[in-house]
Amino acid sequence: MAKIISDDVKLLGAWPSVFVMRPRIALNIKSVDYEFLEETLGCKSQLLLQSNSVHKKVPVLIHAGKPICESLIIVQYIDEVWSSEPSILPSDPHDRAIARFWASYVDDKWFPSLRLVIGAEGERTAALIDQVTEGLVLLEEAFCNKKAAFFGGDHIGFLDIALGSMLGWLRVTENMVGVKLLDEAKTPWLVQWAENFCADAAVKGPMPQTEKLVEFAKGLLTRMRGS
Tell me the per-residue pLDDT of 48-86, one tens digit each, with 9 for 90 and over: 999 999 999 999 999 999 999 999 999 999 999 999 999
Who's near 178: CB < 8 A, 6+ residues apart? none
Do 107 and 183 reside in the same domain of the chain? yes
Residue 165 counted as domain residue: yes
For 163-198, give the secondary structure using H, E and C: HHCCHHHHHHHHHHHCCCCCCCCCCHHHHHHHHHHH
What is the distance between the alpha carbons of residues 157 and 216, in angstroms, rounded to a whole number? Answer: 28
What is the distance between the alpha carbons of residues 139 and 162, in angstroms, rounded to a whole number? Answer: 13
Residue 105 counted as domain residue: yes
Strand locations in the chain, DSSP E? Answer: 9-13, 35-38, 60-63, 66-69
Do 28 and 134 reside in the same domain of the chain? no
Do 208 and 156 reside in the same domain of the chain? yes
Residue 87 counted as domain residue: no
CB atoms within 10 A of CB 193: 24
Do 110 and 142 reside in the same domain of the chain? yes
Do 69 and 175 reside in the same domain of the chain? no
Beta bridge partners of 32: 4
The average pLDDT across 133-149 equals: 93
Residue 195 counted as domain residue: yes
| End-to-end C-alpha distance for the chain, whole angstroms | 49
Here the CATH number for the domain that contains residue 74 is 3.40.30.10
Do 52 and 143 reside in the same domain of the chain? no
Residue 148 counted as domain residue: yes
pLDDT band for position 7 (cuts 50, 70, 90): low
User: Do you know the residue count of the chain?
Assistant: 227
Overall domain count for the chain: 2
Where among 56, 81, 106 does a domain terminate? 81
Residue 42 pLDDT: 81
pLDDT band for position 1 (cuts 50, 70, 90): low
What is the distance between the alpha carbons of residues 10 and 166, in angstroms, rounded to a whole number? Answer: 22
Domain that holds residue 197: 93-223
Do 132 and 211 reside in the same domain of the chain? yes
